[in-house]
Amino acid sequence: MIYHNPVLLKESVDGLNIDHNGIYVDVTFGGGGHAKEILKRLGNNGKLYAFDQDEDALKNEIDDKRFTLINSNFRYIKKFLRINGVTKVNGILADLGVSSHQFDVPKRGFSTRFDAELDMRMDLNGELSAFQVVNFYDESKLSNILHHYGELRNAKLIASAIVAARKKKPIKTSFQLKAAIGKFLPPNKEHKILAKIFQAIRIEVNQELEVLKEFLLQTTDLLTSRGKLSIISYHSLEDRLVKRFYKFGSFDSEPKKDFYGNFNTPFKKPEKLIVPTFEEIKINNRARSAKLRIVAKK
Nearest to 83 by CA among 71, 96, 65, 95: 71
In a domain, 3, yes or no: no
What's the pLDDT score for residue 99?
Answer: 65
CATH number of residue 136's parent domain: 1.10.150.170
Bridge partners for 291 per DSSP: 233
CA distance 233 to 112: 20
In a domain, 33, yes or no: yes
What's the pLDDT score for residue 69?
Answer: 98
Whether the CA torsion 123, 236, 172, 159 is positive or negative: it is positive
CA distance 280 to 170: 41
Cβ 24 vs Cβ 52: under 8 Å: no
Count structural domains, the chain. Answer: 2
What's the pLDDT score for residue 1?
Answer: 46
Domain boundary among 206, 237, 259: 206
70 backbone dihedrals φ, ψ, rounded to 5° = -110, 120
Helical segments of 112-207, H only: 130-136, 139-150, 155-168, 174-180, 190-206
CA distance 233 to 215: 14
Between strands 223-233 and 291-296, the pairing is: antiparallel
Q: What is the pTM of this model?
A: 0.92
Which residues are within 8 A (CB) of 106 and not within 5 positions of it... i.e. 6 or more apart?
Answer: 114, 115, 116
In a domain, 4, yes or no: no
What's the pLDDT score for residue 264?
Answer: 79
Supply the range of the domain harboring residue 171. 106-206
226 backbone dihedrals φ, ψ, rounded to 5° = 70, 10
CATH number of residue 63's parent domain: 3.40.50.150
Nearest to 134 by CA among 184, 98, 170, 108: 170
Task: For residues 228 and 86, state if they share a domain.
Answer: yes
Nearest to 207 by CA among 109, 77, 120: 120
Between strands 47-51 and 23-26, the pairing is: parallel
Q: Can you list the residues of the chain whose pLDDT is less than 50?
A: 1
